[in-house]
Structure 1
Amino acid sequence: MSNRFLTAIFILFTLLPCIEAYAAKDRYEFDDPSQRELFLKLTAELRCPMCQNQNIADSDAMIAQDMRRKVFRLLQEGKSEEEVISFMKARYGDFIYYQPPVTIGTIWLWLLPAAFAIIALLVVFFQKKQRSINDSTEKLAQAERILEQDKL
């Protein structure tokens, strides 16, 4: 093999990952800068259904790429932020949006941390109270022992 052929192979394999990375990155062109800002905001607020707690802006999953394209198309059609969010919720459920609505199904998300904090405070309070009762009982018993020793 000639040196030129080996050099060409080396360059090809060196540049191939760069070309693939550039090709894989979505490019979205917006006519209005406010549309671009709204696109960035929406893709940061919508959760990838495949990834664990990652938004569609940061996810490389195929479904996240599809969702970004759909958000782009909906914005190009003139849909508002609420309409895009409603569309995504209707398609993927409330899980998709990082700010879930307060409903009967999601109320426990809001009440569980408060209930846990109240229970933790009650446990600490009663333990402290029980400890003080035990301390005072022990002190009384010790005082009675001292009195008994003085009588002898």
Structure 2
Amino acid sequence: MATTKLNTSIIDEEVTKEELSLVRSYLLLTFIHKVFERDCRVISRSGLFKTPQLYMELVSGATKKTSLMLQEVTRELSSHDLKITTVRQDQRGVEALYSCRGFQGEMNILWPGFRREMMLRMRAYLGLSTELSILSREENASELALTI
């Protein structure tokens, strides 16, 4: 669940749902891109795979998709005069401080929701099923560890 705080009393007129969605997408894509890049490095260096090039190709393709999407989101942020000034993470979740046309805001997303959305998006970028029943079983099996 994401919470958003704005340092203004005119929230709806100043920062739209679309703009808040851009901030959220920027955060998710940034984390996902770094996870894919890290996974590619680990696959190539591990020596554990018989055909690492196949797995690297799969993950590299997803990395390219996230890179392109991140570029598009960055362009959209700019067109909305929206700047993300700080991104922090702690035990509770991810926090972004941003300014939108002069108004300062803050978005906080707790880890459970952030991880779940990351997994959904990562599966889509990898061309895997995003069926909820499959995801529920996998989430119980292991948590996605994030330190970026």
Q: What TM-score does the superposition give when structure 1 sets the normalisation length?
A: 0.22
| Largest Rg, 1 or 2 | 1
TM-score relative to the length of structure 2: 0.23
Higher helix share: 1
